[in-house]
Structure 1
Amino acid sequence: MKPLHTYLRFPALIVFLLFLTACSESENHATKSATIATLDVYKSRTCQCCQQWVHHMEDVGFDTKTHHPSDLNRIKNDYGIAPEFQSCHTAVTSNGYVFEGHIPARFVQQFLENPPDDAIGLSVPGMPAGSPGMEMGDRFTPYKVWLLKKDGSADVFASVNSRDQQ
C-alpha cells in the first residue's frame, strides 16, 4: 500500500492551480475596473441616450457623476463649446477637459493620455445613429470626432465610418 502523501499530491496540485487561476482572474478584473478618470456629466434628467452614454463610459472604467442643470446651454457656453459642436450632454474632467456628445470611450481615453496643448476637449455634434448611447438596431451613420481648440477652432480628431471603429 502506498503512503497517504502519495495520494494527496495530485489533489494538492489541483487546489494550488485553481488558487493561482482565481488570483490571476481577480487581478485582471481589478485592472479592467480601475478608474480612468472622473467625468462630471451634465444632461437633461429625461434624456435616456445620455444615460446610455454614461453607462458606456462606466463600462470601460470611467467614474461618472451626473448633474441635471436647469440651463444646460449655459454649461456648454461656460466651457467654450461653440454651437456647431454642441450635442445633448457635456462631460468635464477634474482638470477642465470637455467631452461633448456621444464620443466613444476609446477616443476620450486616447485624448486624456496625451492631450494637445491647445485643446479644450472633443466633440461629436448632434446625435449620430449607432454612436455610443445612440444604438438603433442595425442603423449606423458615419461621423467625425472633433478636437476643440482654445481659440475656438476645431480639427478632425477621428473619423468613425463603421461600428467597429468606435
Structure 2
Amino acid sequence: MNPRSTRTVRRSLASFATILVAACAGVAQAATFTMYRDPNCGCCLEWADHIEQGEKHEVNSVDHLDMGAVKTQHGVPDDLRSCHTMIADGYVIEGHVPAADVERLLAERPDGVTGLAVAGMPMGSPGMEHGDHRQPYQVIAFGSEGRSVWANYPGNM
C-alpha cells in the first residue's frame, strides 16, 4: 500500500474510533471534518494536511468514485466545483480553501451561507503549492443569500 493510502486508512480508522468512543461515553463531539475525494487525486491529501496544521482539526478522508453526486448532494454550484468536498461542522468547503478562511467561517457563522468554494485548482492555493507560480483566486461564499467574495488571493503573475 502506498504512503498516501496508508495515511487515508489510518485517518479513517482514527476518526471511526473517536466517534465510537464518544458515542459509547455519551460525550458531545468536537466539529467533524469529512473530506470526500476521488481516490486518484493526490492534491486533496496535501490540502487536508494544510487544514490539519497545528492539530486543531482532524480531517477524515473518504474516497468516493462519484464526486459529482457528492457535490450535488451538498449543493455545490456547478461553476464553483473543484476536486474535493469537505463538510466542516455542517458547512460545505469546496476545493482548495485556505484554513484561515474555514476558521473564519466557523467563528462567524454568517446567515445564509452554506459554504465556501475555490473553483478549479489554482496553482499556489493550499495543496497546490508546486513551484513559485501562484495564480490569483477568490474564495466564494455561497448559499441561500446568493454569493459573495469571502477572500481574494492575488497570486504573483
TM-score, normalisation: structure 1: 0.72
> How far 1:82 sits from its partner (Å)?
0.8
What do residues 63-109 of structure 1 show as CA deviations (whole Å, max 9, x unaligned)? 11010122111110011101101000000024x21000001000000
Counterpart CA distance in 1 for 2:111 and 2:138 is 21
Counterpart CA distance in 2 for 1:53 and 1:70 is 19
Counterpart CA distance in 2 for 1:51 and 1:43 is 9
Secondary structure, counterpart of 2:114 in structure 1: strand
In the alignment, structure 2 segments of 5+ residues that lack a partner are: 1-29
Q: Contact 2:39–2:65 (CA<8 Å) still a contact in 1? A: no
Cα RMSD for the two superposed structures: 1.8
Secondary structure, counterpart of 2:148 in structure 1: strand
1:88 equivalent in structure 2: 83
1:38 equivalent in structure 2: 32
Equivalences for residues 92-111 of structure 1 within 5 A:
92-94=87-89, 96-111=90-105
What do residues 9-44 of structure 1 show as CA deviations (whole Å, max 9, x unaligned)? xxxxxxxxxxxxxxxxxxxxxxxxxxx843100001
Runs of 4+ in 1 over 6 A off after TM superposition: none
Secondary structure, counterpart of 1:138 in structure 2: coil
The yes-or-no answer on 1:146 pairing with 2:125 is: no
- Counterpart residue type for residue 80 of structure 1: G
| Rg comparison, structure with higher value | 1
2:22 equivalent in structure 1: none
- Counterpart residue type for residue 93 of structure 2: F
Counterpart CA distance in 1 for 2:97 and 2:31 is 15
1:78 equivalent in structure 2: 73
